[in-house]
Amino acid sequence: MTGRKSPESPPPAKQASHGKRSPVTKPASMVKTEHLPAGGEEHGAQPGRAFWSGSITIGLVNVPVRLHTMVRDRSFAFRLLHRDDGQPLKYDRVCSRDGKVVPWSETVKGYEIRKGEFLVFEPDELKAILPESDRKIRIDKFVYYLSLDPVYFDSSFILVPDRSEEAYGLLLAALQDLGRAAAGTITLRTKEYPAIVHVYDGALVLTTLRHADEVIPPHAFSILPELPVPKAAELALAKKIVTDLSGDFSINDYPDRYREAVLALVHKKLAGENIVYEEPHPGQAKELMQALQETIATLAKK
């Protein structure tokens, strides 16, 4: 089984009676906490302006659409500060040879062919090879949506009809009834992407895909061909755990615990509390069979 490992929550915090306070640029009492990110679900959030407009092209059929970002990055953007005075650090374009700050007007792009040796490219040279942006999502085939491997999924965007409600609704209904997705290409900014148009929650969504050579195949990792054959008893217990824990997936079951912990920490620091963390205690290592049996026993009590 594969999957992305969820970030672990920080260990529980407790108030300390002593400790070094972090510098702040203004007293905590002057900061309005209602202006801080509130956490949790944001109701009534409105999408921003479309960043792309064009059409879905299927043969001679064109469906005019606008593309909107449908993902909000709710992670925390910490600034790097000078510890002594709490002020943010600035970053400049500094030449690695003479240490001088270089203005944008004196910069060019370079491709490193050997360590420290670069081919220089002028802006016009790179502009001449940009992929043609004809404002079209070119569809060349339809595939079963469930046959798509999520490892290739990159970014998703909502497609909104641009005075094309009838054609948009027709395409949506056809894809939904047949369980298909439309596969093709789109050019965004300076790159052409493989992409699919699929149905999500009553709307058409465009998901860009990674190119085949961007994904490292499993056989490139030498340890995988050497995996031992599972023991029958352990495999039976593993299957029982999988069966007992099976259910419908809901993303709402997986809140951002790290974000919630950071928000709580922000409010504690604004309240003037000193924060220390308890050291986590690693659990005792168990044999695989023992861990499987104890997991089965724990599930049986639920």
Cα 186 from chain centre: 20
Q: How many residues does the chain have?
A: 302
* 142-169 confidence digits (pLDDT tens): 999 999 999 999 999 999 999 999 999 9
How confident is the model at residue 42, as a pLDDT? 45
Q: How far apart are CA 127 and CA 274, in angstroms?
A: 54
The whole-model pTM stands at: 0.70
How confident is the model at residue 36, as a pLDDT? 56
Show Cβ contacts of residue 181 under 8 Å, excluding neighbours closer than 6 positions: 142, 143, 144, 145, 148, 175, 196, 197, 198, 199
The low-confidence residues of the chain, meaning pLDDT below 50, are: 1-31, 33-34, 38-44
How confident is the model at residue 16, as a pLDDT? 39
Residue with tokens 């690695």, as numbered in its chain: 96
How confident is the model at residue 128, as a pLDDT? 85
* 39-91 confidence digits (pLDDT tens): 444 444 566 788 999 999 999 999 999 999 988 877 777 888 999 998 999 88
Q: How far apart are CA 246 and CA 253, in angstroms?
A: 14
Amino acid residing at 291: A
How confident is the model at residue 47, as a pLDDT? 66
What is the dihedral sign for C-alpha 47, 48, 49, 55? Answer: negative
Show Cβ contacts of residue 76 under 8 Å, excluding neighbours closer than 6 positions: 37, 259, 262
Residue 13's closest CA among 276, 280, 281, 282?
276
What is the DSSP-derived secondary structure letter of residue 25? Answer: S
Q: Is the domain 52-71+133-215 a CATH 2.40.290.10 member?
A: yes
- Interhelix angle 232-244/288-301, rounded to 10 degrees, is 30
For the chain, the structural domain boundaries read: 13-38+221-301, 52-71+133-215
**Phi-psi category of 99—alpha, beta or left, where left has phi over 0 and alpha has psi -120 to 50?**
left
The torsion angles phi and psi of 253, rounded to 5 degrees, stand at: -80, -5
